[in-house]
Structure 1
Amino acid sequence: MIVQDLGRIDYDAAHHVQLQRRADVEAGAEETLFLLEHEPVVTVGRSGRAKGLMVSEEFLVANGVALRKTERGGDVTCHFPGQLVAYVIFRLAKRPGGVRSFVQLLEQCAMDVCAAFGVRTHRRDGFPGVWTETGKIASIGLGVRRWVSYHGLALNVGEDLGPFEWIVPCGVASARATSLDFERRHVAEASGRAYPEPIPMETAKHAFVQAFRKNQAAAPVAAGEAAQG
């Protein structure tokens, strides 16, 4: 597995990179995990509708926010600096459980990262992603073509969740967004402790890579074996 940090990158540029890598992996190249932060963008998945937007497209353009239709599953979501995005370019054909088990692996990775920073999380039946008692902290939307995955997961790290005011998260009107920093501050307030320092993005990325390596190695068929045959 190759791990590549793309830093802070425009959505279109990252999309081009992952499409090229998806084609390369299909042709036999090594599977790849991309880590990055996006410039502000709202994306609409295959099942998404314009009604998931709480603002006009003109508003987004005026505020320097891109709007893009994507190949991933899911509804409307947003990406922005302070959110960790993981794009996973992996072969799924020989993975037991296929796409569903890979989604569960990504959920577990996000849950492990949250646990590493003292944030309790859970799954929610019928809604892929990761949740706390406060709201949704990680979203998952995969694209799969010829049994090679692309797109992936977004984990909210920083406390600024303003971009979620532009959308209806995961198409559920009652859903709220939360983040690692928000949850840690909330716990500190409740216990009367001093506010914790914000989590550096590099620290969050390192924790995610560790979690991904651990869960990938524990999968019934490892990534390298899934690439054979």
Structure 2
Amino acid sequence: MIHTTVFASALTSVPCWLINEGQVSYAVALEVQRRLVQEHRENPDLPDVLILLEHPPVYTLGQGATLDFLKFDPMVTNWEVHRVERGGEVTYHCPGQLVGYPILNLRRYQQDLHWYLRQLEEVLIRALAVWGLQGDRVSGLTGVWVEGRKVAAIGIKVSRWITMHGFALNVCPDLQGFKEIVPCGISDRPVGSLAEFIPGIDLDRVRPVVAASFAEVFGVELIASAWPK
């Protein structure tokens, strides 16, 4: 069981900066990620980073995503839409969803993208277990499901073994925005949230649990840090 007030793994003292933010526009967060990745490529000795935040309503598409999974025309809409360098299809971010952006040098862990994806899933599975929820994997797909409902999406980009983008955990969001897309290109599996299983849950309760789970899975010590200027 993960203790929600402890962010460090007992087995290591490898530092990782933890940046806890509230609601940040997608464009601003993307610019910060890209800048951090560049800094870590230029100086691989910099500590890793985990950013936890929320976004205002926004749709994002992976670099190879098809527009067929949008139920609206992105050229004539009031929705904010971004095509970015991560893998995967279209997804939706909004308040009440905890988004995590790890900036990790995988040379410190394993230089294996499949391993990294499974580790991100494991972070969320262990976090859900704190509330007695069983997080499941689905063979051939990426993400985490609870009772057949997808509660977490994952999409990453890795450049010279430095990671960006990450995971989105539906804690207590308004799920209506997902009706405008085929989430992650999966039409036969519904999207869900933790609030459907744990009434009254909010991000303030989930943030420290996810942080502690991340520290445990990756074997790091999380050190509180400010939003990059």
* Corresponding residue for residue 206 of structure 2: 204
* Corresponding residue for residue 114 of structure 2: 100
Q: CA RMSD in A?
A: 1.9
CA distance in 2, matches of 1:40, 1:159: 10
Structure number with the bigger relative contact order (C-alpha 8 A, sep ≥ 6) is 2
Q: CA deviation at 1:159?
A: 5.0
What is the letter of the counterpart of residue 45 of structure 1? G
Query: What does 1:7-18 align with in structure 2 at a 5 Å threshold?
Result: 7-18=22-33
The reply to whether residue 4 of structure 1 matches residue 6 of structure 2 is: no
What is the letter of the counterpart of residue 151 of structure 2? I
Whichever structure has more helix as a proportion of its residues is: 1
* Corresponding residue for residue 48 of structure 1: 65
* Corresponding residue for residue 161 of structure 1: 175
Q: 2:154 aligns with which of 140, 151, 154?
A: 140
CA distance in 1, matches of 2:128, 2:76: 33
CA distance in 2, matches of 1:33, 1:159: 22
The reply to whether residue 174 of structure 1 matches residue 188 of structure 2 is: yes
User: Could you tell me whether the CA contact under 8 Å between 1:117 and 1:180 is conserved in 2?
Assistant: no
Q: Which deviations, in whole Å up to 9, do the C-alpha atoms of 1:9-41 show, x marking residues without a partner?
A: 100000001111111122232110000000110
Q: Which runs of 5+ in 2 are unaligned?
A: 1-15, 223-229
What is the letter of the counterpart of residue 44 of structure 1? L
* Corresponding residue for residue 123 of structure 1: 137
Q: Which deviations, in whole Å up to 9, do the C-alpha atoms of 1:176-224 show, x marking residues without a partner?
A: 100101123xxxxxxxxxxx3x212121111100000010119xxx99x
SS in 2 for 1:127: coil
The TM-score with structure 1 as length reference comes to 0.84
What is the letter of the counterpart of residue 201 of structure 2? I
CA distance in 1, matches of 2:173, 2:22: 19
CA distance in 1, matches of 2:210, 2:192: 18
Q: Which runs of 5+ in 1 are unaligned?
A: 185-195, 224-229
The TM-score with structure 2 as length reference comes to 0.84
The reply to whether residue 151 of structure 1 matches residue 151 of structure 2 is: no
CA distance in 2, matches of 1:86, 1:59: 30
Q: Which moved more, 1:20-29 or 1:147-156?
A: 20-29
Which 4+ stretches in 1 moved above 4 angstroms?
Answer: none
* Corresponding residue for residue 37 of structure 1: 54
* Corresponding residue for residue 225 of structure 2: none
The reply to whether residue 183 of structure 1 matches residue 197 of structure 2 is: yes
CA distance in 1, matches of 2:108, 2:124: 23
User: Could you tell me whether the CA contact under 8 Å between 2:148 and 2:189 is conserved in 1?
Assistant: no
CA distance in 2, matches of 1:163, 1:59: 17
What is the letter of the counterpart of residue 209 of structure 1? A
What is the letter of the counterpart of residue 114 of structure 1? L
SS in 2 for 1:139: strand
CA distance in 1, matches of 2:110, 2:49: 19
What is the identity percentage for the equivalent residue pairs of Structure 1 and Structure 2? Answer: 32
